[in-house]
Structure 1
Amino acid sequence: MTVIAITGIGGFIGLRMAERARELGWTVRGLDLSPVAAERARAVGAEVIVGSVNDSEAIHRTVNGADIVFHTAAVVEEDGPRELYERVNIEGTRTVATVSSKAGVRQFVQLSSVMVYGFDYPQDVSEDGPFDGAANIYNETKLRSERVAMEFDNPLGMRVIVIRPGDVYGSGSVPWILRPLDLIRRGLFMLPNGGRGVINQVHVDNLLDGVFLALEKNVGGEAFTISDGVATSCSEFFGHVAKMAGKRSIPTLPAPIVFALIAISVRLWRLFGSRFPASAAATRFLMRKNRYSIAKAQRVLGYQPRVRLEDGMRDIAADFQLQKK
């Protein structure tokens, strides 16, 4: 029986992987820093250890005897203290990969991000780049962490696969569904430049289809961009979210005005001892212009996205309606 160990198992992607693996009859183990997140994963039948990716002993207990490690644990906020990002995203990856290699794990999947290409990437940028992590601490540490993981790829031992997801959405997605939904309801969400920036969405089940294909073909030493293969305007993507919030439209202003309003709001909220829930760093993610290529995943893995945006958003809306009852 296949045994998979998942770091960050109680998070949005890790939890869905746990569910999918259990459906296949696999044994699922996991590691999560949050006791609450750990309980979510236990509820779907996983054995979970509460601990840090920087704790070698906790990692060993998680990965020992596993065939596959799916490393999702990371700091995923748009901005924050450099020390935290480097400790978790880079050194955490090094620790998890080191322990996994010594434990005899056969396949190690490093969940990276399309943000390794930066914000101003060319149309249909491929896995060969160009890369640009210098403009944002999240982008930078995701790029460095996948390079750390690749150091452990060994054709005679543990094979390392890097997956670069697009903007992962689905029920439970914090950055692309839950946080925007909350901000829209509170009248605090606006789109820069007419909402013409793009979201390169990937439904979480499409992403995991790509991961399973990469594992099946054992394409060690390779990186793959996995998205739905389309660049959807922010106005269209978040229009679906606005409908869930009971709104007809989302305000939009020129980017300089949006940044100025955020700066003013941050200062005002701080005066009252609160943190403004939007940021200039997050707004930059709404100003990307181009599509990422999934040609390599299609050619090498046979990947084809099966969940369309309309269907994915309809399912999310249905989930919200059930939660209200």
Structure 2
Amino acid sequence: MANTETKTVLVTGAAGFVGTPVVARLLEHGVRVRAVVHRAEAAPGAEAVPADLAQPGSLAGLCRGVDAVVHLASRIGGTEQECRAVNTRGTAALVAEAHRAGVRRFVQLGTAAVYGEGPHRGPAEGGLAEAPGSVTSATRLAGERLVLAAGGTVVRPHLVFGRGDRWVIPSLVSLLARMPHWVDGGRARISMLSVDALAGALAELALSPHKAPGVLHAAHPEPVTARELVCTVTQALGLPQPQGETDVRGALDLLEAGAGPDATLRRRLSLLAVDHWYDSSRLWDVLRSLPGAAFSEAFSPYADWYRAELTV
């Protein structure tokens, strides 16, 4: 990385799942961190600045004296109006504020969900049409396009796991409780990345002397099979493994028989049944940061945290 002694980086979503390790990584490099917080507290050592993306006036002056912006905050779920206020209009206001302040580097955390349901089998950036299937994804995509138009970088992971994860592994465990069978033999391949590897990549993109504008996929180079994912998680957390086989249609029938049609259950099923893996070689080619170990090894340091959280 470049000399970071005099750099100031603004981080939105600084107290969130990804924001917490990003701030920690930046502080380790001696960077001054201006942490934008909404309801939570900033990490010790960071300058906490209260602001609300849904209230553009609260962003005034936020980027003054800043060398780079790492935009991690987003609205997940809620009405279209609520999502648009944060993900689209809030991002537009932040981009404009950064431009006024002369900020040269803008990195946004996006999502591979903008590509829709799949299957997706190893496409590189630009190789897939964007077809968001939810209000959250559609409004986030609109925000991403504003960042890209301004010359920024958008990093799109698929599934991120690790300390602070409230969705990926908890959703998988919840699904396994209702779907105790292997779906299509567990052959689906899935892009995953640890939150710490993602944080390292985002921090380096903010600090590197070399810009990497455009979209970058963020995933471990080796996609995980659904069988490896399930076996790793169940063994680490002491949970029963699936027994027997079914196909996607049979799995949907079983899920809906117990709960009725449910879009959330169908999305969770895609974790096990549908290929969602992406070529992330461009990201790792431009960084010194590494994607870390493969999933079965990378999950181990987080197992105790997940056990405690899932017990609660």
Query: What range is the shorter-chain TM-score in?
Result: 0.7 to 0.9
Q: Distance in 2 between matches of 1:61 and 1:243?
A: 50
SS at match of 1:164: strand
1:136 paired with 2:127, answer no
Aligned match of 1:259: 252
Q: Which runs of 5+ in 2 are unaligned?
A: 1-5
Q: For 2:248, give the aligned amino acid.
A: A
Q: Is the CA contact (8 Å cut-off) linking 2:70 and 2:202 kept in structure 1?
A: no
Does residue 8 of structure 1 match 2:13?
Answer: yes
Equivalence map 1:66-215=2 (5 Å): 66-77=66-77, 81-120=79-118, 122-153=120-151, 160-181=152-173, 183=174, 187-188=177-178, 192-215=183-206
SS in 2 for 1:63: coil
Query: Counterparts of 1:42-53 in structure 2 under 5 Å?
Result: 42=43, 44-53=44-53
- 1:294 matched to 2:280: yes
Amino acid at match of 1:117: Y
1:157 corresponds in structure 2 to none
Cα distance change of structure 1 residues 88 and 129 upon mapping to structure 2, 3 Å threshold: farther
- Alpha-carbon separation, structure 2, partners of 1:304 and 1:199: 19
* Superposition map of 1:298-317 within 5 A: 298-301=284-287, 304-317=290-303
Q: 2:22·2:200 contact (CA, 8 Å) conserved in 1?
A: no
The one-letter code sitting in structure 1 at the alignment partner of 2:32 is T
C-alpha distance after superposition, 1:71-104 (max 9, x if no partner):
1111335xx5333332222222112111122122
Structure 1 residue runs of 5 or longer lacking an equivalent are: 154-159, 269-275
- Contact 1:30 1:62 (C-alpha < 8 Å) held by counterparts: no
Take 1:10 and 1:100, find their aligned partners in 2: how far apart are those partners? 21
RMSD in angstroms over aligned alpha carbons? Answer: 3.0
What is the letter of the counterpart of residue 203 of structure 1? Answer: S
- Identity, in percent, stands at 22
1:57 corresponds to = 57
| 1:303 CA displacement | 5.6
Kindly tell me: are residues 165 and 230 of structure 1, through their superposed partners in 2, closer, same or farther at Cα, counting changes over 3 Å?
Answer: same
What is the number of residues matched between the two proteins? 302
Output the CA distance in 1 between the equivalents of 2:212 and 2:117.
Answer: 28
Highest RCO, 1 vs 2 (Cα 8 Å, sep ≥ 6) = 2
Give the secondary structure class of the aligned counterpart of 2:70.
strand
TM-score, normalising length: structure 1 = 0.80
Aligned in 2, Cα 1:89/1:261: closer, same or farther, shift over 3 Å?
Answer: farther
Q: Does 1:31 align with 2:42?
A: no
Give the residue type in structure 1 aligned to 2:205: A
SS of 1:279's equivalent in the other structure is: helix
Following TM superposition, by how much is the alpha carbon of 1:19 offset from its aligned partner in structure 2, in angstroms?
1.0
TM-score (norm 2): 0.83
AA at the equivalent of 1:291: W
- Which amino acid in 2 is paired with 1:254? D
Matched-pair contact (CA < 8 Å) for 2:156–2:217: yes
Q: Which residue of 2 aligns with 1:232?
A: 224
